[in-house]
Amino acid sequence: MYRLPWAKWGLILLAVSIVTASLWYTRNLATKIAVEERKKVILWAKSIQFVANAEEMDSGFSFVVEELIKSNTTVPAILTDEKGNVLSYDNVKIPKKIQSKEKDTWIKLQVKEFQKDNPAIEIVNENLKSKFYVYYRNSSLLYQLKWFPYMQLGLIIAFVILGYISFNNARKAEENRIWVGLAKETAHQLGTPISGLMAWIELLKAQLGEQDLTVHEMNKDIERLKIITERFSKIGAAPMLKTENILSVMENIAEYTLQRLSQSKRIQLHFDFTQLPKKTEIPISKPLFEWVIENLVKNAIDAIPSEKKGEISITAGIQPKKIWIEVKDNGKGIPANQFRKIFRPGFTTKQRGWGLGLSLTKRIIEQYHKGKIYVKDSVVGVGTTFRIELSITEQV
């Protein structure tokens, strides 16, 4: 049975926790810096106000006030009168494309933009009985700090996605190595007894004659074993695809399947290839493609309860640029949440079994034949329909 990879969810949860903590900490820090910047601007404004109101100042005190005014080197600030006329500004970067005659207009527009960021600071000039206003915008450092968590979030998401892709690729590469090793070893192990059986068949032919029924049936079984060995030997290596008449291939599969189930009274097989033209050619590896259909039929047989009279239908048809093949049964059905899981290696609902049949089927169709295989529909207790789609090379 396939198990949910909790390690993946653990990594995702850890990443979300880190991002959440980072966002909270950065936002909290940005708020504190914004408060400190406002204090700095207020101090700057009060220094200007003090200079404006003072009639005389000690030279040392005057130096301190001037230094306070100069201390603002990061926060953009604009000083205006009651009528909105710009009197001075600090740390406001004027774009090079702005000409001298356009500078005043551009600065006034910036006052409106600054108002959106922070409320103005009022300065009262007691000597002139007038008021001045300081408008300011958050420093570039504060803006960078506010955007930093989102940049960090993007980097973490990219890291998680990259890690997930790398993890999946590593897992698939490992699965591929296991598949190839298992298939090659199986083909190798089958080769020796098949060679021995072929020798015994030749001996029996000499004693009983080639027309003997037992010899004939044993020879068919050995040929079948040779086909199975060939199939296993092709797993892991790119098979040679040969253009085949799909109608002929499907008719051969139907004939073999009927012979295989001829002794089973509880299963009825139905075939419908009338929608296929007499010559519809597609590039396939015939031994592997036949294996796919056999796997789907075997899966359908296993899905039918022993107490139920089973019905399996294999149909095929044609659409623009592709042919489709469907294997339908009236078995126990598949829950919708398992439609994709059933193709994963090791996933099985049977008490016995490796959960490899449908995984092999998907690999053969999608990787080797560049086609598609999926559960077209399934209802629990009613049955399941698998659908294969392959591209057409030639149609006559």
How many whole angstroms separate alpha carbon 390 and alpha carbon 396? Answer: 17
Encoded amino acid at 276, one letter: L
How many whole angstroms separate alpha carbon 310 and alpha carbon 268? Answer: 6
Question: Between 140-208 and 6-53, two packed helices, what is the crossing angle to 10 degrees?
Answer: 170
How many whole angstroms separate alpha carbon 165 and alpha carbon 160? Answer: 8
**Backbone phi, then psi, for 5, in 5-degree steps?**
-75, 85
**Backbone phi, then psi, for 310, in 5-degree steps?**
-85, 150
Helix (H, G, I), strand (E, B) or coil at 171: helix
Q: Is 148 exposed, middle or buried (0-12, 13-18, 19+ CB in 10 A)?
A: middle
Domain map of the chain by residue range? 6-138, 144-215, 239-395
Query: Would you state the pLDDT for residue 73?
Result: 63
Say if CB 343 and CB 359 are below 8 A apart.
yes
How many whole angstroms separate alpha carbon 377 and alpha carbon 383? Answer: 9
Domain 239-395 of CATH type 3.30.565.10: yes
Average pLDDT per 10 consecutive residues for the chain, totaling 396 residues: 59 76 78 76 68 50 45 73 78 78 80 80 72 78 72 77 81 70 70 78 81 80 78 68 86 77 70 84 86 87 84 90 91 87 71 67 87 92 93 61
Query: Would you state the pLDDT for residue 386?
Result: 95
Using alpha carbons, list the distances in angstroms from residue 163 to 6, 12, 18, 88, 159: 15, 10, 16, 53, 6
Polymer length in residues for the chain = 396
Which residue's structure tokens are 């999926």? 374
Helix (H, G, I), strand (E, B) or coil at 156: helix
Helix (H) or strand (E) run with residue 10 in it: helix 6-53
Query: Would you state the pLDDT for residue 277?
Result: 83
How many whole angstroms separate alpha carbon 170 and alpha carbon 259? Answer: 42
Which residue's structure tokens are 């590039």? 283
- For the chain, the first-to-last Cα distance in angstroms comes to 46
Encoded amino acid at 143, one letter: Y
Say if CB 134 and CB 45 are below 8 A apart.
yes
Helix (H, G, I), strand (E, B) or coil at 327: strand
